[in-house]
Structure 1
Amino acid sequence: MEFFGANSMTLQELQDRVLQLSLSERWRLVESLLNSIRKEMQVPSLLESEQSYFMNLDPWTQSLVGVVQLNIEDEIDIYTNYLEEKYR
């Protein structure tokens, strides 16, 4: 796979070059890529209060925010069904 035409680097070449970056540079790249992916997937942005909370998390942990989407109504139904079965 090639990017941006015939004179551009392949995916493997890009990966090799990225791995030569420092750890902090790679984290900035990861954050940039995640932000780009979130925009494309139209993941809603966090409220300001949530943002300040998550900024104190490790960057790796921050990257996991929003990976799992819970539907609270489904969770309530599942728990209600569990309790009904338990106390029948």
Structure 2
Amino acid sequence: MTLQELQKQVLQLPMSDRWQLVQTVLESIQQETISPSKKGNLSRLRGIAKGANISSDENINGDYVTYLTEKYQ
């Protein structure tokens, strides 16, 4: 079956079947284009944006004041 024959048959399908076919084709393309190395790289970055255990702004300000005091003594 050629591409043109397939296209003719697809165009004869009901709209809902064509949408389902489009979705299936897109999903298969996505699975083939996402390489395992890309998945691995993203999984290594998981949690990178999580903040450290910062209790409050007062502690941060106090730590900064202590840092500056020790730095400029």
Q: Which has a greater percent of helix?
A: 2
Higher relative contact order (CA 8 A, sep 6+): 1
In the superposition, the TM-score normalised over structure 2's length comes to: 0.46
Please report the TM-score for the alignment, with normalisation by the length of structure 1.
0.39
